[in-house]
Amino acid sequence: MSIIVQELTKIYGDQKAVDAISFEIKENEIVGFLGPNGAGKSTTMKIATTYITPSSGSVIINGLNVEENPLEVRKSIGYLPEHNPLYLDMYVHEYLHFSGRFYGLNKNELKSRTAEVIEMCQLSVEQNKQIGQLSKGYRQRVGLAQALLHDPSVLILDEPTTGLDPNQIVEVRELIKSVSKGKTVLFSTHIMQEVQAVCDRAIVINKGQIVADGSIIELQKNNTQQIIEVEFASKVPDSLLQSFNGVTNVKNIGGNCFQLTVSNSEDVRPEFMHFVTEHDLNLIGISQVQRSMEDVFATLTRSENV
């Protein structure tokens, strides 16, 4: 296990930012840490990077407790904080060298590693500029390059794509995907597609508690509601469709097309075919609608609020 979080709690004043959460991340796994703003994502990550200390519970990274061995833990993690703070008056090379020297890299190693991460993060074009002159997308790359410089086994990225334009988001996502080979990555976001695009597994957190943890497919499946779209050649009354076993909602989406929401965890299409023959309907199309992560996320986090 690369990252083990046990009963982690952080209390600010009388507010519980993180409330007894536990999860484990295997080596080389890319995990999306998903949740609305203020859910406790950053707090958890800050504890994992040793920046803040937990009120109770523990985080163990590569077998080392973050509270007992902070200096050793820091050597094995690369961290990109939220909002990506940078020294704007430093040059890209100067900044990367500065970061690298903390890890005891000597001059030659510094040079070669800097060249490597600049290549990896596609910074070559802008490598001789001052960080303050770079666009936001490039600054994000500098932040990522800084996190990768000492080749850490664990990468912790706090909302790496916030505030970027759509093209930059895609670029940075691709970048994360390509640099994270052979590394354990915990990466937080409140954008669903990002998790779908980058991660193997998602941990959904809301109000300091984990509300879901599993692979993306599992999460989507693990929902008792499913939607099928059906099309008929001739008119079919709503009331007839309502009588299908388990239907909670029938929506006419134009012409003779309907969207049926069915509470059933199994695929209902075979059953629906029986239903069609029974009632002698003229079915010309049927398909299952993939529930997007948005829906999953919305149901998971909203039910908590009620």
Partner 1 sequence: MFNIYLKEINSFLSSLIAYIVIAVFLVAMGLLVWVFPETNVIDYGYADMDTFFSMGPFVLMFLIPAITMKMLAEETNTGTIEILIVKPVTKLQVILGKYFAALTLVIVAIIPTLVYYYSLYQLSSPVGNIDTAGIAGSYVGLLLLSSVFCALGILASSLTKNQVVAFILATFLSFILFTGLNSLAGINVWSAISLPLSKLSLEYHYHAIGKGLLDSRDIIYFISVSAVLLYFSKLTLAHKK
* Contact set with partner 1 (CB under 8 A): 46, 49-53, 71-72, 74-75, 77, 79, 81, 83, 85-89, 94, 98-99, 101-103, 146
Order of strands across the sheet that contains 77-80:
77-80, 154-158, 184-189, 30-34, 201-206, 209-215
Closest CA to 205 of 3, 31, 2, 79: 31
**Which of residues 50 and 180 has its CB atom nearest to partner 1 in the complex?**
50
CB of 103 to partner 1, least distance (A): 7
Q: Shortest Cβ distance from residue 102 to partner 1 (Å)?
A: 4
Instruction: Write down the least CB distance from residue 83 to partner 1, Å.
Output: 6
**CA separation for the pair 4, 268 (Å, rounded):** 39
Which of 132/285 has CB closer to partner 1?
132
Residues 116, 300: Cα–Cα separation, whole Å: 41
CA distance 172 to 122: 10
> Measured from the CB of residue 73, what is the shortest distance to partner 1 in angstroms?
9
Closest CB 94 distance from partner 1, rounded Å = 7
Distance from C-alpha of 70 to C-alpha of 46, rounded to nearest angstrom:
12
Spatial separation of the C-alpha atoms in residues 104 and 246, rounded to whole Å:
63
Compare residues 113 and 201 and give the one whose CB is closer to partner 1.
Answer: 113
Q: Which is nearer to partner 1, 83 or 251 (CB)?
A: 83
- Residue whose CB is less far from partner 1, 49 or 180: 49
**How far is the C-alpha of 35 from the C-alpha of 221, rounded, in Å?**
19
